[in-house]
Amino acid sequence: MPLAKLRSLLGSGSLAAAAIAVTLLSPKAPVSAQDVGAAAKAAGQKIDTGWQNGGNYKPLGDPRALRTVKDRPLKIAWASFPPTLRTDGPYSNLMQTRTLHSLLYESLVSIHPDTEEYMPQLAKEWRIQTDFEKGKQTFWYRIDERAKFSTGEPVLAKDVYASWWHQVQEDRNDPSGVVVYSQFEEPVIVDERTIKVTTKKMNWRLFMYFSGLSVMPEKYIKIPGDEYLRQYDWKFVPGSGPYLMDMSTLKKGESLEMVRRSDWWAEVNQLPWALNTFNFHRIKCVVVRDRELLYEKFKADEFDHYRVIRAQRWVEEIPKEDVVINGWVKRRKIYNQAPHGFSGLTFNMRKPPFDDKNVRLAFAHLFNREKLIKKVFFDQYKLVDSYFPGRDWGNGDKNPKIRFDPDLAEEYLFDAGYEDRDDAGFLIGPDGKRLSVEFVYSGPSSQRLWLIIREDFKKAGIELILQEIDYSTLTKNISERNFSIHFQSWGALLFPNPRTSWESSLADKKNNNNIPGFKSPEVDKLLEEYDLTFDRPRQKQITKKIDELVFQECPYALGWYADYLRVLFWDRFGHPEKWWSRIGQDLDLQIIAYWWFDPAKMEGLKKARSSGEKLPQGQVEQHPWGKKAKN
């Protein structure tokens, strides 16, 4: 299905290919296309891929999948109920609604979640024409003549045009959509099922930006903004995807249910990307605001699966639970090769003391990640040494390993002019002021981490003042650059977009991802080259160099990440041998897309619980895709 929210492409992770959960940016280009493209670019010439259809690709679903259980919904837990069901407009870019949109709508072209190659969806064929002299591209799409909306109406070129038009209307109060889709000239309807669009500039990601457009029927969305915002606040525009919402189940603030379509066009026509996927007849989304309560509800069998966030629970609590000991609930840590974002202490480089690189490096060497991972996280996480961790886009193997080293930190602080201490033992800078920094955070659960690291900073002569504030205030302060240091976590794109995080022009602007205020003319040049580079190996060379240069300036004291998903589930599911896709990130969507209720397992679980019989637990750690690429 489509990118449920293309605005998230501007900097954070996003959903795509309906619960297949792969970020839609750009696929692996064929080697021949890369070679031709490089030569054409050098000569200022044109290239034309001709019409493509994805060739023979591996089906996504498991042929063993069943859809015979119809009297039990798959229950999904939400921490809160979305303030609107709209795909666009204010408050629409939330994980809950993106999940629903991924089940309702489809895009033109997708990416195979295992091979990362182009794959058809609503468009059965596509064509890319590149004019290096003019610095533009033209994308052509032929809509599959079998594609239909849930209303029974065919998907036509006019619907694609209207879907683009909808995104660029400012009266939707959705500036991110306007920014993304204003990069294209007005699309041209060639015939009833063919449309073409030309970019206003050259950027290798623009093909999949347009290809990831959620396509909706013209007659429902080509309406004034105020009417759209009002009419679709609590109902959906019809889509072409595998599910519908059962409006009779909508309980605002509490729950809603999605119903599997029996006439989904892609399945009716036996398309490989649709067969044996989305095997649950009903999906019920229920609000449980407290995660402790959710855990208890899961153990009481009110939910079928539970994602484990806390390392302490995973290591200490769960192995002792009766339902796990008996094997009725399976415990799995499943690794795949999904992209991962980075995390760490974010320094505001716009003002003292973090405008001094020596101070930043000192703080990085005093950030005792090793202690936190061992003492608090039970050795469940990996250290981050790159701004592109976990895949081969970063320079983690070659970047210096910054580890806890108070002696080296002392040298950096001395070089920054912090030579003496006051009577309380805190360092005094060249300005005669104590080295005192306010650390802002939100949520009491993380306080235990900051209390631990505060002691290490205190020993080094740094006063770290912990300030807990509510999340909305924290978000506002960070967006307005009203902070000194805080801990930031980022999602990740399948294909990186470093411009949104590191471009110098963003450094002194508010409300963007360049939170530290990083500036580098050399990085800016690489960002320009990256956007214009169509050769995948060269793209990776560029991001590695960007990673190296950013790492040298230390805008963050990098943190940790996990390259797996931890899940508990009652033993009533069937699933593929490899569990889910190679690059899938969202647990709920992966289960919705690939798993199914197995009647035989359901009966076996029922008998075991009734008799007290134990079921085999099986292997906890799963590495279905082999070892992950290094940083």
Are 417 and 327 in a shared domain?
no
Residue 463: exposed, middle, or buried by beta-carbon count in 10 A (0-12, 13-18, 19+)?
middle
The answer to whether position 263 is within a domain reads no
Are 573 and 548 in a shared domain?
no
Q: So what's the pLDDT on residue 5?
A: 41
Report H helices in 416-565.
Answer: 447-459, 471-479, 499-502, 521-531, 536-553
The answer to whether position 283 is within a domain reads no
**What are the Cα distances from residue 443, in Å, to 367, 446, 452?**
20, 6, 16
What's the DSSP call for residue 19?
G
**What are the Cα distances from residue 385, in Å, to 22, 201, 335, 548?**
24, 34, 20, 10
Are 455 and 511 in a shared domain?
yes
The answer to whether position 67 is within a domain reads no
Encoded tokens for 394 = 């970063």
Can you say whether residue 134 is alpha, beta or left, with left for phi > 0 and alpha for psi between -120 and 50 degrees? alpha
Q: At 183, which amino acid appears?
A: Q
Which tens digit of pLDDT belongs to each residue from 238-266?
Answer: 999 999 999 999 999 999 999 999 999 99
Choose the final residue of a domain: 511, 529, 561. Answer: 561
CA 593, CA 110: separation in Å to the nearest integer?
A: 15
Q: So what's the pLDDT on residue 600?
A: 98
Q: At 199, which amino acid appears?
A: T
**Beta-sheet pairing, 436-441 with 485-489:** parallel
264: Cα separation from own chain's centroid: 27
The answer to whether position 66 is within a domain reads no
CA 262, CA 267: separation in Å to the nearest integer?
A: 9
Report H helices in 44-92.
Answer: none
CA 396, CA 78: separation in Å to the nearest integer?
A: 35
Q: Which residues of the chain have pLDDT under 50?
A: 1-36, 629-631
Are 409 and 490 in a shared domain?
yes
Which tens digit of pLDDT belongs to each residue from 21-72?
Answer: 333 333 444 333 444 455 555 556 889 999 999 999 999 999 999 999 999 9
- The count of domains in the chain is 3
The answer to whether position 366 is within a domain reads yes
Of 186, 128, 185, 189, which is closest to residue 157 (Cα–Cα)? 189
CA 525, CA 499: separation in Å to the nearest integer?
A: 11
464: Cα separation from own chain's centroid: 32
Choose the final residue of a domain: 202, 223, 239. Answer: 239
What's the DSSP call for residue 626?
-
- The pTM score is 0.86
Are 176 and 221 in a shared domain?
yes
Are 462 and 597 in a shared domain?
no
> How large is the C-alpha radius of gyration of the chain?
26
CA 241, CA 107: separation in Å to the nearest integer?
A: 10
Are 456 and 530 in a shared domain?
yes
Q: So what's the pLDDT on residue 16?
A: 33
Could you give the angle at the alpha carbon of 572 between the alpha carbons of 567 and 575, nearest 5°?
A: 65
Choose the final residue of a domain: 513, 531, 561. Answer: 561
Contact in structure between 399 and 547 (CB atoms under 8 Å): yes
Are 224 and 297 in a shared domain?
no
The answer to whether position 21 is within a domain reads no
Cβ–Cβ contacts within 10 Å for residue 68, how many?
10
Are 511 and 594 in a shared domain?
no
Q: Which CATH number fits the domain that encloses residue 402?
A: 3.10.105.10
Q: So what's the pLDDT on residue 91?
A: 83
Cβ–Cβ contacts within 10 Å for residue 315, how many?
14
Contact in structure between 221 and 162 (CB atoms under 8 Å): yes
Contact in structure between 255 and 287 (CB atoms under 8 Å): yes
Can you give the residue range of the structural domain that contains 604?
288-336+563-622
Residues 6+ apart with CB under 8 A from 566: 307, 308, 309, 314, 332, 333, 334
Are 530 and 407 in a shared domain?
yes
Are 215 and 360 in a shared domain?
no
CA 157, CA 123: separation in Å to the nearest integer?
A: 10
Are 313 and 394 in a shared domain?
no
The answer to whether position 16 is within a domain reads no
Contact in structure between 471 and 428 (CB atoms under 8 Å): no
Tell me how long the chain is. 631
Q: So what's the pLDDT on residue 244?
A: 97
Residues 6+ apart with CB under 8 A from 447: 441, 466, 468
Q: Which CATH number fits the domain that encloses residue 215?
A: 3.90.76.10
The answer to whether position 9 is within a domain reads no
Residue 626: exposed, middle, or buried by beta-carbon count in 10 A (0-12, 13-18, 19+)?
exposed
CA 128, CA 124: separation in Å to the nearest integer?
A: 14
